[in-house]
């Protein structure tokens, strides 16, 4: 088992919008274009990212590679039924990777459902014509809101989402009281919410 050491959580935090490794938007384009070239680009561009995520959760290199392939194959299959009303390839990619991690690496029951598997109570509706545009807008807003966060807030959300750490584990890692961790997470999320408010 290989577990990369983490010197400082800030080393993983984005510094500005231009420093983002990729735009979720480019994933939407790749996954909805069904060509051989798009398929290869999906693995080239996003494979190393997912493998890295899995290795940070304790997977050895071979397992991490397998889980990255499995994640992206699932993204590719789901993208064939693309509907912006049911999430985007970027959220699927994160959700699928997260679920595989819980199932294979934590070896626990995964209770999180993928966005279009969640029962809606009413029959699914077609995405309104502007849904794709508004999803793209949501992604841009989330990116901007995250990159504008003060470093202390960005560190705690990064530890939660990328390291998968529970609140008390973040508190231990950063030697902070639990209440401080929760209030930073709450503040960070309020800013993301505010950035999306008028798109609701």
Partner 1 sequence: MTAIRRHPESVTLMSFAAGALAEPLSAACSVHVSMCAQCRGELRDMELVGATLLGSTPMGAGRVAVPAKPREVQLGAHTGDGVRNRDGLPGPLARNYGLALDQIPWKRLAPGVWQHHLELSPGAEGELYFIKLAPGFRLPLHGHTGAELTVVLTGAFTDASGEFRRGDMQDIDNSIEHQPVGDKQEGCICLVAAEGPYLLKG
* Near partner 1 in 94-113, by CB under 8 A: 94-95, 97-99, 101-102, 107-113
Q: Is 101 exposed, middle or buried (0-12, 13-18, 19+ CB in 10 A)?
A: buried
User: Which of 166, 172, 177, 194 is the binder for partner 1 (CB under 8 A)?
Assistant: 166
Contact yes or no for 162/53 (Cβ under 8 A): yes
Contact yes or no for 154/185 (Cβ under 8 A): no
Q: How far is the CB of 98 from partner 1 (least distance, A)?
A: 4
* 14 touches partner 1 (CB under 8 A): yes
Residue 170, helix vs strand vs coil: helix
* 3 touches partner 1 (CB under 8 A): no
Q: How far apart are CA 175 and CA 169, in angstroms?
A: 10
Count residues contacting partner 1 (CB under 8 A)?
A: 84
Q: How far apart are CA 109 and CA 122, in angstroms?
A: 27
* 153 touches partner 1 (CB under 8 A): no
Q: How far is the CB of 171 from partner 1 (least distance, A)?
A: 12
User: Which of 28, 30, 86, 155 is the binder for partner 1 (CB under 8 A)?
Assistant: 86
């Amino acid at each position: 088992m290989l577990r990369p050491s983490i010197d400082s959580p800030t080393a993983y935090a984005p510094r500005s919008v231009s420093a983002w490794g990729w735009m979720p938007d480019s994933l939407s384009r790749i996954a909805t274009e069904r060509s051989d070239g798009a398929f290869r680009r999906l693995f080239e561009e996003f494979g190393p990212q997912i493998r890295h995520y899995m290795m940070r959760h304790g997977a050895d290199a071979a397992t991490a590679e397998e889980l990255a392939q499995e994640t992206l194959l699932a993204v590719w299959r789901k993208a064939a039924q693309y509907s912006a009303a049911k999430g985007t390839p970027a959220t699927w990619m994160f959700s699928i990777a997260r679920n595989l991690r819980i199932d294979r690496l934590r070896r626990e029951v995964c209770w999180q459902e993928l966005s279009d598997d969640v029962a809606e109570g009413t029959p699914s509706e077609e995405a309104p014509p502007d849904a794709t545009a508004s999803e793209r807008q949501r992604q841009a807003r989330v990116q901007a809101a995250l990159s504008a966060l003060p470093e202390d807030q960005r560190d705690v959300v990064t530890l939660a989402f990328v390291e998968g750490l529970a609140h008390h584990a973040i508190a231990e890692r950063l030697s902070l009281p639990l209440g401080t961790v929760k209030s930073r997470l709450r503040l960070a999320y309020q800013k993301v919410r505010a950035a999306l408010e008028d798109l609701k």
